Chains A and B, each alone.
Chain A
């Protein structure tokens, strides 16, 4: 992976790749919302519109062989790690061609081949296994890192504290990425967090932490690269705090009665990571439209792929209970 760019600025070509990835996630999730509202998708969904720069910046910094655990808001992480949109969309339609073969759904996207150890529908549920995977890498002397995504809300739950404590105690190669979007479902930070600076929580374990603007994909990529290097070099785990914004509701269909409308409008206008990168790169209207068209086609094709997918047989439910 592109470690040569660690110093100096990232090439424009690389940043354009990031832009494309972020736009793919955005259009994919917009399509998912649309299809969900049309009644085509079972279950319920959480999208991460506004948080694409964290997913792309972090996943682009991972090495082959690294693993990660995701959250209930997992489409972006999964796509950013290279799982094909067809496989993700097919999963949302409950098809055998899905990345979890129809057993998981939106909140349980897995792709072991690409190191995706699973999205988790229990807040904080994936963190202990990341400490354990990192322990395995350390015991085997493998230069791999295990990384967990989670939100600010998860820093209140026991698994967060137990996992960071053990990871730091045993100095395992783990990176804990807090996607701080300032909301635990509908509950704002001031109602659920007694401190503003969440790195204090990592500091309590003596853990190294890095804070980054989660709306700046280049900054996220660099910070994640530093965090991964720190862990990979045997210097211990890292807490990476990415301050970001959820530019949509908690779940698809969430009326967001809890959010101030004016403030929300302003956030949407000023905190879109795709706008930021587009401005930074000076992408022209025509160029952007071209990129958008390309991404849109991929997304449309994923819907067609998913709809044409294979329904599991009912009795397939009893497969995969045991290895």
Chain B
């Protein structure tokens, strides 16, 4: 089995699809010669040429909108929005256009567009280069939302996103690009809508996304030393959500912690908590705990950034709180 970094895994899925299918192409800011601001598309220009690896102007509305137009014509474009923060510039095209064409046309149109973007704190990027906005898009019917946390997942899920006939918001985490993992020899598509249990446990389910999956695994390791058995559940796709898997896990452990890097208030964890209480209230032995960023624009100074953004210690604290109840 080859070892791939998360970054290489994204590139591998893109390259694979582009080798097999002329309808797949990529466009975004600085993705050609420079290989993208995160180096994800490095080398792809050489293999696929400038028609299919397209540098764009700094023009998020047009990048996403042109992707919509090409997708409507039956191509499978993958557009890159350099930072999640910049999806705000393309919000009209994503929310009013991509998400709604199928419905507004009464089912005549489909928009097989993948919008890759990334974000994440931990390197003092300040308030406009690190937001975790994935929760916003879950609120929009018509969009699918994916947030992968490992090289294997990001490879298999990106493939599925490209071949999904709907617009997919595909979130990557800035600080995960370097992590490595052995991945299957052949690219194995991972279905959108299927969660992954990273670690089985008996006492508490930690539902975590993105970087917080790794923080949750570290916290689970610590908790084990304290005699607490933690299940780490990564939804991987936020829309559609694997509700059956989620509910089954909580019914087994009877306790639930939700953990993400996004701001806690109105974060995706709020929806997880709502689903759990609707479908597994009688199985819960304690209130659901939430772990997320504190309610502040991300400050620059490392000491303040660190204070705002959650990590393994915060997850461990939440695990301890829920176990201490009832």
Contacts and interface: CB of A to CB of B under 8 A. Distances in A.
Q: Do A and B bind each other?
A: yes
Interface of A: 67, 98, 100-104, 108, 110-112, 117-118, 120, 122, 125-137, 139-140, 146, 158-159, 162-163, 165-166, 169-170, 319-323
Contact of A129 (B54, B65, B75, B166): B65
Interface residues of B, number: 43
B142 A162 contact: no
A323 B168 CA distance: 12
Contacts of A134: 69
A118 B101 contact: yes
A162 B62 contact: yes
Interface string B40-62: 00000000000110101101011
A159 B108 contact: no
Contact of A322 (B56, B77, B102, B104): B102
22 contacts: A67-B73, A100-B105, A103-B107, A110-B105, A110-B109, A118-B109, A128-B93, A128-B97, A129-B68, A129-B97, A132-B67, A132-B70, A132-B71, A132-B72, A136-B73, A139-B52, A146-B69, A165-B59, A320-B103, A321-B141, A322-B166, A323-B166
Contact of B107 (A130, A162, A170, A320): A320
Interface in B64-123: 64-75, 77, 92-93, 96-97, 101-112
A108 B105 contact: yes
A125 B165 CA distance: 21
Contact of A108 (B73, B104, B112, B142): B104
A58 to B, nearest CB: 19
A166 B69 CA distance: 13
Given A103-B103, A166-B66, A322-B165, 11 more contacts: A100-B106, A104-B105, A108-B104, A110-B109, A132-B65, A132-B68, A132-B70, A136-B69, A159-B65, A162-B59, A323-B110
A42 to B, nearest CB: 15
B233 to A, nearest CB: 24
A146 B70 CA distance: 11
Contacts of A118: 101, 104-105, 109
Contacts of B166: 322-323
Nearest to B164: A323
B104 A103 contact: yes
B69 A110 contact: no
B171 interface: no
Contacts of A117: 69, 72, 109
Nearest to B55: A169
Task: Give the one of A108, A118, A132, A170 with max B CB within 10 A.
Answer: A132
B48 to A, nearest CB: 12
A111 B72 CA distance: 13
Contacts of A98: 106
Contacts of B107: 101, 103, 319-320
Contacts of B73: 67, 132-133, 136-137
A217 to B, nearest CB: 28
A101 B106 contact: yes
Contact of B61 (A67, A111, A158): A158
A167 to B, nearest CB: 9
Contact of B66 (A100, A125, A128): A128
Contacts of B170: none
B177 interface: no
B142 A321 contact: yes
B165 A323 contact: yes
B137 interface: no
A136 B105 contact: no
Interface of B: 25, 51-52, 54, 56-57, 59, 61-62, 64-75, 77, 92-93, 96-97, 101-112, 141-142, 144, 165-166
A262 B70 CA distance: 47
Nearest to B142: A321
Nearest to B71: A132
Contacts of B71: 132
B106 A132 contact: no
A120 B109 CA distance: 14
A323 B102 contact: yes
A137 B106 CA distance: 25
A131 B104 contact: no
Task: Give the one of A98, A162, A165 with max B CB within 10 A.
Answer: A162
A110 B106 contact: yes
B88 to A, nearest CB: 13
Nearest to B68: A129
A143 B97 CA distance: 26
A321 B68 contact: no
A275 to B, nearest CB: 35
A139 B105 CA distance: 25
Task: Give the one of B54, B70, B165 with max A CB within 10 A.
Answer: B70
Contacts of B102: 320-323
A182 to B, nearest CB: 25
A284 B27 CA distance: 57
A165 B102 CA distance: 27
A310 to B, nearest CB: 13
A67 B66 CA distance: 14
The 10 A-B residue pairs with the shortest CB-CB distance, nearest first, are A128-B65, A132-B69, A101-B106, A132-B66, A129-B69, A162-B62, A136-B73, A323-B165, A110-B105, A323-B110
Contacts of B68: 128-129, 132
B96 A125 contact: yes
B51 A159 contact: no
A242 B104 CA distance: 28
Contacts of B57: 162, 165-166, 169
Nearest to B56: A166
B103 A129 contact: no
A127 B62 CA distance: 9
A158 B90 CA distance: 10
Contacts of B103: 103, 320-321
